[in-house]
Amino acid sequence: MTAHLPQSQRTSNSDLYEQDFYLWIQTTAELLKQGRLTELDLENLIDEIETMGRSEKKALRSNLEVVLMHLLKYKYQAEKRSGSWRGTIREHRKRLREALEESPSLKPYFGEVFGLCYENARLLAADETELHPATFPEESPFTPEQILDPDFLPEL
């Protein structure tokens, strides 16, 4: 694609990465399609692919924490339950299920980070509810299966 630019705008792929990220993506995709592998900016391409993997994991952790936090709020502040909380739980469960369907290799990671995500969600729930953290159990009262179950809502 850089070949279609005027001479004054032509630049190396690595320079393009710094100057116009979207154009770099388009150029990289075109070079891949054409099999012009020697012209690729491999260093930045590898970095971007690795970043995509980290982003998938980060999104999974974030969605898991949101579901756990809202389930804790739902369980321990029954008097404040709302459609908004249920909607948030439903939306983030959907995101989790989609991530695990699109990338089944994330399922072991879901199990690995479940405890850490619960610890974070417990503190976030304490902040949002203004209840003492000790109000919430140290271990998750919810199973990974319950987190993904679209119909599960906790009772006291």
Is there a contact between 34 and 26 (Cβ–Cβ < 8 Å)? no
- Mean pLDDT of all residues in the chain? 91
Q: How does pLDDT run across 54-74, given as a tens digit for each residue?
A: 999 999 999 999 999 999 999
Pick the more confident residue, 113 or 11: 113
- Across the range 82-98, mean pLDDT stands at 96
How crowded is the C-beta side of 100, counted as CA atoms within 13 Å? Answer: 19
Least confidently predicted of 15-24, 87-96, 129-138 = 15-24
Helix axes 42-76, 107-129, angle to 10 degrees: 50
Q: Band of the pLDDT at 13, cuts 50, 70, 90? A: confident
Q: Band of the pLDDT at 5, cuts 50, 70, 90? A: very low
Tokens at residue 23, please? Answer: 């154009």
- CA dist 12 and 102 (Å) reads 34
> pTM for this structure?
0.80
